[in-house]
Structure 1
Amino acid sequence: MNVSFELKISTDLSKNISGWKNLSDNNSFILEVAIADALDLYVPPVLIILGAVCNILVIVIMRSTYFQNVSTSLYISVNALVDFGSLVFVLPPHWIQVNFPWIISRGPNADIICKVLNFLGWYTSDYGIILTVAMTIERAIAMRFPLKAASWCTLRKAKRVIIGLSLVIILKDFHFAIMSILVDKNVHDRLCDNDISDSTYLYFVDNVWPHLHKVFLSISFTLIIISNIIIVRSVRKSDRLSLLSSNEDLPNGPSVRRVSSRGRQLAIMMISDSVTIVVCTLPFAIITTLEASIELFQNNRQDKAIGHILFSISLYLLYVNRCANFFLYCFSGQRFRQALIEMVFRKIQRCYSNMVLTELFRLSYTDTSYTISTISKNDEGKGTFIALNPFSGENSH
């Protein structure tokens, strides 16, 4: 009797513990789903609006007098344009898919959308990375060899590099424009995936592409780190020369200080940009590599929810990088801040002047007491004062 009673108590306790565990797991799962849904719903609109405005401002400022003839400014402008296109054209469809999937058309030509969007997503990401590499190397060369910078770092050469790198990235990512398909309607964390129905492409995606992308990122990040080391050492050397020219009355002292100041400003901007792109790009590369190689977070629904959160965070970090350059340049670049302030004040002054002129024009032509007076001679040679009211259409004598 006692044994059976004890067994009953033990069975009831195990059921209660199991029920508590299931309840705890369910609560945890609900919380993780809520976090993922909040990230997908609220983060993209903020990034789209903020990034679009900030990248337009960067492009406008880079076309100002101080920056427009510097080759590094061309890299920054093109990079801002690529970021703008990614935020405006690639991110909105993803936001619609993860929040309102019923809006996405799933007709026979639906895969064409993914072929374009998936290619643009990877292209803008990789192109942004390699542009940062190019302009960091260019700035390192300019700082390391200042006497040859004028002939080596020109706008014409920068344009050639930009076009050449664009073609390289197109070749690297072009398979997405051919083999991308719309995800199944039950998948809500992304819009597009790879079509792995072909065994050859499946082998490429599983065994070739991950290693190719890792090599691309490794080389890019290594070049960025080496270039930043060269830039930091050159900035220190330039600061010493600038200090020497200020202490000694050298004939070319002002020119040395002016070149040193410009180079230092651009160097700091490049360092902040390159560090940010490494921090914001690396998590997405790690997550996608782990998902492809070991099928991470695919065991149960709670693991899938955690994987959804990590994927969303890493994906939105990519877009945070595409919004952050404006703030990095404002924080690290004194000349950039000055150009921004001058642009804002000119805009305010122009708007104020237009408002004043409009008001004066309105007052002058709406005042009913306003008249135009002329003196005319009549046939008898007597002077007659004629007051003409332009709005009444009548003459008063």
Structure 2
Amino acid sequence: MSTASSVLEDVAKYNENNTYGFVFDVSANIWRYGWPPLCMTGLVGNTLVLLVLRRDGLVRTSANVYLSALAVGDSLVLMVASVALYPGKAWGWWFDSTSRLACHVTWPVLHTIINASTWFIVAFTVERCVVVRSPLRRLSTPRNAGLCCGSLLVLAFVKNIDLFLIHDLDIGTDWDDAVCIVPLRYRDYANYYRPMISFVTSCVIPTGIVLVCNWAIIRTLRRDLVQTTARDSIVRHTTVMCLAVSFVFIVCFVPAHLFYVTILYWPMSLQDQYDVLGSLVLLRYANHAVNFFLYSLTGAHFRCELVALFHRCIQRGFVTAGCVRRMTSRVTGSFRYRREVDRHLEMR
């Protein structure tokens, strides 16, 4: 009987290990093959957003300041995550373990940019709510929007400065075994207190503000359906873009934070935590890559400017091609003329 039970235990352990290995392969493959197209799509889309906003006739509005800051922040998030997260999630090589400076700097920089981008969405939503509902819309100026974005970036850095202090490089016996870890004296803070702080400041408060402002905006839009001027039409289109960005932010951003707090009180195996959280984190980063498509689907003015941008690029391409053909023909003609002169001199 004991032999049979030991055999059954070995079979159970074997199946369990195979299951975890399969799940790990699935999670790693999701990052390995899903992140490159996601990152490239986000970078190209955010670049197009910046180019369109440079063309926009309302480039000096506060809304475009927030959209530009959000596009830059999303691009930086994708680029930094490509160095800090993607090699480790997909291939097992972590950039923060390469040096002590990388261990101290990687995570504060990444989380600072992520939190700043999150609060840019919140600020943009509040600004749209003020423009749509409040008589204080005169406060929504490009200068105030720039000051708000700068202040949010500073606050995000202050909020994540503790990550610089609680991480350290454990070299061990060889540099090949170096790992960026949280020392034992900071382990309780990193495992229990910081997740709750991040959950409140990066999820609960932003989501609550976004939901309240979106509710107020939707009520106002449903009550005032008449568009009197072209400026009112542009404001309405920009507000609809803001609603789309806000709702997608909630769908992509909240699940990862909820799960990260849930596992503090709901015991799970480390492998399951890694796999589920890895997939949810990838969903969270998708939020930084889809704004271009949201603007294109919901913003008629943005689509017009995007078409005008492509039309101008095509015209410039035709003009450049014509100039190249003319220069080539001139150079070829000069070479032919020179050969004819040389041949005539040789005959004489």
The partner residue of 1:360 within 326, 332, 337 is: 326
Q: Within 5 Å, which residues of 2 pair with 1:1-397?
A: 21-22=12-13, 24-101=15-92, 106=97, 110-145=99-134, 148-149=136-137, 151-182=138-169, 195-198=182-185, 201-202=186-187, 204-206=189-191, 208-216=193-201, 217-239=203-225, 241-242=226-227, 256-291=228-263, 293-294=264-265, 296-298=267-269, 304-367=270-333, 389=337, 392-393=340-341
The one-character-per-residue Cα deviations of 1:231-266 (angstroms, maximum 9, x if unpaired) are 112222332x32xxxxxxxxxxxxx33122111111
Decide which structure has the larger Cα Rg and report it. Answer: 1
Once the two structures are TM-superposed, the CA of residue 184 in structure 1 deviates from its matched residue by 8.8
The one-character-per-residue Cα deviations of 1:367-392 (angstroms, maximum 9, x if unpaired) are 3798xxxxxxxxxxxxxxxxxx4665
Once the two structures are TM-superposed, the CA of residue 297 in structure 1 deviates from its matched residue by 2.5
Scaled by the length of structure 2, the TM-score of the pair is 0.86
The residue that corresponds to 1:386 in the other structure is: none
Distance 1:99 1:219, change over 3 A: closer
Counterpart Cα distance in 2 of 1:162 and 1:349: 36
Counterpart Cα distance in 2 of 1:360 and 1:94: 49
Scaled by the length of structure 1, the TM-score of the pair is 0.76
Counterpart Cα distance in 1 of 2:196 and 2:335: 83
Once the two structures are TM-superposed, the CA of residue 362 in structure 1 deviates from its matched residue by 1.9
Once the two structures are TM-superposed, the CA of residue 61 in structure 1 deviates from its matched residue by 1.2
Once the two structures are TM-superposed, the CA of residue 339 in structure 1 deviates from its matched residue by 1.2
Q: Aligned-pair RMSD on alpha carbons?
A: 3.1
Once the two structures are TM-superposed, the CA of residue 280 in structure 1 deviates from its matched residue by 1.2
Counterpart Cα distance in 1 of 2:316 and 2:170: 51
Q: Which amino acid aligns with 1:268?
A: V
Worse-superposed segment, 342-351 or 56-65: 56-65
Counterpart Cα distance in 2 of 1:104 and 1:213: 23
Counterpart Cα distance in 1 of 2:267 and 2:214: 34
Once the two structures are TM-superposed, the CA of residue 284 in structure 1 deviates from its matched residue by 1.8
Once the two structures are TM-superposed, the CA of residue 180 in structure 1 deviates from its matched residue by 2.1
The one-character-per-residue Cα deviations of 1:43-84 (angstroms, maximum 9, x if unpaired) are 222222221111111111122233412211111111111111
The one-character-per-residue Cα deviations of 1:83-105 (angstroms, maximum 9, x if unpaired) are 11111123333222234446858
Q: Which amino acid aligns with 1:132?
A: I
Counterpart Cα distance in 2 of 1:102 and 1:354: 44
Is the helix fraction higher in 1 or 2?
Answer: 2
Distance 1:263 1:393, change over 3 A: same
Higher relative contact order, structure no. (Cα contacts within 8 Å, ≥ 6 residues apart): 2
Distance 1:18 1:177, change over 3 A: closer
The residue that corresponds to 2:175 in the other structure is: none
Once the two structures are TM-superposed, the CA of residue 152 in structure 1 deviates from its matched residue by 1.5
The residue that corresponds to 1:251 in the other structure is: none
Distance 1:35 1:75, change over 3 A: same
Alignment check: 8 A CA contact 2:256 2:277 kept: yes
Counterpart Cα distance in 2 of 1:102 and 1:18: 34
The residue that corresponds to 1:377 in the other structure is: none
Alignment check: 8 A CA contact 1:61 1:67 kept: no
Once the two structures are TM-superposed, the CA of residue 148 in structure 1 deviates from its matched residue by 4.7
The residue that corresponds to 1:253 in the other structure is: none
Q: Report the 3-state secondary structure (helix = DSSP H, G, I; strand = E; otherwise coil) of the residue aligned with 1:68.
A: coil
Q: Which amino acid aligns with 2:47?
A: I
Q: Percentage identity across aligned positions?
A: 20
The residue that corresponds to 1:383 in the other structure is: none
Alignment check: 8 A CA contact 1:44 1:92 kept: no
Aligned residues: 339
Distance 1:182 1:317, change over 3 A: farther
Once the two structures are TM-superposed, the CA of residue 153 in structure 1 deviates from its matched residue by 0.8
Q: Which runs of 5+ in 1 are unaligned?
A: 1-7, 186-190, 243-255, 299-303, 371-388
Once the two structures are TM-superposed, the CA of residue 159 in structure 1 deviates from its matched residue by 1.0
Q: Which amino acid aligns with 1:266?
A: T
Alignment check: 8 A CA contact 1:39 1:312 kept: no
Q: Which amino acid aligns with 2:232?
A: S
